[in-house]
Structure 1
Amino acid sequence: MKRILEAFTLIAMAIAMGCSRTEATSDATDAGLRNADRDASNWLMYGRTYDDHRFSPLDQINE
């Protein structure tokens, strides 16, 4: 009985994970990513630019 319950739980979890899949959408273009260093107001990537320096050129956070 315990194995049937475990199997049912695994199947239910797998079905729930399959149903809850979300599609990643982004407005970022390839040109926008290549020129990310020129756009100081948006962080399009984890490290902000392809250089991955994670430096913000904004002055407002330093004041």
Structure 2
Amino acid sequence: MSDTMQQASLGTEMATEDLGAGKPRVGERAFAIAYLAAVGVAMAGWLYAISRAALAAVGWIFG
């Protein structure tokens, strides 16, 4: 069973290498990196805003 799975995996790897499907173009990678960086910055901004709002609410309740 293990040998069969290894052969199937090897066959799939060889097929993707032949088609070039395993390697995204440079432009696609650059776009993906820029997009993920923008999403990361936006998530950090939302986390900062939510944290500030929560701390302000706690300060207002107990202050």
* TM-score, shorter chain, exceeding 0.5: no
Larger Rg: 2
Structure number with higher relative contact order (C-alpha < 8 Å, ≥ 6 residues apart): 1
Which structure's residues are more often helix, by fraction? 2
TM-score normalised by structure 2 residue count: 0.37
Normalised by the size of structure 1, how large is the TM-score? 0.37
